[in-house]
Amino acid sequence: MKNPSVLVNGRFLSQPITGVQRYAHEIMAALDVLFSSGRLPPTRIVVFAPRNIVHRPSWKTLEIRTVGCLTGHLWEQLELPLFSRGQLLFTPSGGAPVLHSRNVITIHDAAPFTTPHAYSLAYRMYYRALQWFLARSALHIITVSEFAREELVRALALKPARISVTLLSGEHILRESADHGVFSRLNLPPGPYILAVASRNPNKNIGALEAAFARIGEQGVWMALAGGGSHAAFARHQVPGPKVRQLGTVTDGELRSLYENAACFVFPSLYEGFGLPPLEALTVGCPVIVARVASLPEVFGEAAFYCDPNSVQDIYGSIVSVLHGNRLDRQVQLAKAGEYTWERCALQTWSILSRELAKMV
C-alpha cells in the first residue's frame, strides 16, 4: 500500500469528557505535539468523527473529518468501516467497528466481564460481545496497566503478547489555572472538605465513602462529590447523603482548585483499570487515599494512603488519620505523579501503530 494513513475513531469528540474520553483527547494532543515538533516522522493522521461532534481541538498536524449521516454506535459500526476501508484504524475509547479488519484498539479494563453487576444488562451484553470479537480480530490491543492486562488476558482468553500497556498521566490538570471562583459559584460552605470525583457506577463505591463520612461527625467538615450523575449504563445506586455536596460536572480549572484546597482526595473504588482522578489529585499535591485493590497499588506505590474498600470502618479510619495531620512526603507524591506523562503514553502508542502500519506497506 502506497503512503498509508493512520485513521482514528473520533467518536470521543462527540461525547462528554470522562476518563476514557480524557485519555483519547490527551493522547491525540500529545501525538500532535510530537509530529508538529518533528520528533516523529511525518505521517498523515486523520480523525474521523460523526456529525454530532461537540469538541474540535486545535491540532496542528492531525486532521479532523466529519463523515457519515449516523451517530453513536450505528455510526461507529456501520459508517466508520466504510470510510476506513483498507486503512489502519485506531480506536482509543469505546468499540472499534467489527466490520473493519485492521483495528488497533484500547480496552481500558475488563469490567463488563469481572463486575457485571455494575452495569445494565444491555450495556454489559453489548460490550462483552464486542470485546470478545475484537480481542480476536484486532491487530493489537492496548490497555492502561499491568493489572488491566492480566484481567483482559483471563477474561478474553488471550495470549499476553496480544496486549501492550501504555500508562496514563494526570499532568493535564496543570494546563488550566485554578479557578477559585468555584467555591462562591457553587455556594460551597467554608471549612475543610473531603473531595471525591466519580460517576455513580457502583464500582466507584461512593455509597461506602458516604457511610464512612457520616461517621466522622466533625463539625465544619463536609464532602464534595464532583462528576456526572446517574447513567443508563450503570446499575442503580443510592442518592447522596445530606452532608455530601453533589457538584456535578466541573471545568478543569474548577477541578484543579478543588484538588488544591481539599483536605484529602478519597477514591475507594472496588475495580479500576488505572485510576485517573487520584493521579490528577496527586499531580497538584493533594493527599490521596485509594483502595488497596486492582490497579491502584501498581499506579500509586508509596505515594498514597490505602484503605480497604469493603470496610466502611477502614475508609473512615484512613480519612480521620489524614484529617488529623497524617501526611506523606509531598516530594514523594510529586515525584510519583511526574513518572506519568502523556508524551510517554503517546510515544509508546505510536510505536505500536507504526509497527502495524509498516506491515501494510
Cα–Cα dist 317/324, whole Å: 10
**Residue 240: its pLDDT value, please?**
53
The angle that helices 342-360 and 19-36 make with each other, rounded to 10 degrees, is 70
**Residue 242: its pLDDT value, please?**
60
Q: Is the dihedral of CA 283, 289, 294, 298 positive or negative?
A: positive
Cα–Cα distances in angstroms (integers) from residue 163 to residues 140, 150, 261, 342, 352, in the given order: 6, 9, 39, 19, 10
The C-alpha R_g of the chain, in whole angstroms, comes to 21
Cα–Cα dist 296/176, whole Å: 26
**Residue 230: its pLDDT value, please?**
39
**Residue 254: its pLDDT value, please?**
97
**Residue 241: its pLDDT value, please?**
56
Beta bridge partners of 103: 89
**Residue 2: its pLDDT value, please?**
57
Task: Name the one residue in this structure whose C-alpha cell is 485517573.
Answer: 276
The domain defined by 6-169+341-360 folds into Rossmann fold (3.40.50)
The domain ranges of the chain are 6-169+341-360, 175-338
Cα–Cα distances in angstroms (integers) from residue 123 to residues 111, 118, 271, in the given order: 11, 10, 17
By the 8 A CB rule, do 84 and 48 touch?
yes
**Residue 233: its pLDDT value, please?**
41
Eight-state DSSP code of residue 85: T
Q: For residue range 343-352, list pLDDT tens digits in order.
A: 999 999 999 9
The segments of the chain whose pLDDT lies below 50 read 1, 229-239
Cα–Cα distances in angstroms (integers) from residue 42 to residues 1, 9, 85, 153, in the given order: 17, 20, 22, 34
The order of strands in the sheet holding 88-91 is 63-66, 45-49, 6-9, 88-91, 103-106, 140-143, 163-165
**Residue 122: its pLDDT value, please?**
93
Q: Domain 175-338: give its CATH code.
A: 3.40.50.2000
**Residue 234: its pLDDT value, please?**
39
Closest CA relative to residue 240, chosen from 211, 261, 264: 211
**Residue 288: its pLDDT value, please?**
98
pTM of the model: 0.94
Q: Name the grid cell of 99.
A: 466490520
Q: Do 175-338 and 6-169+341-360 fall under one CATH topology?
A: yes
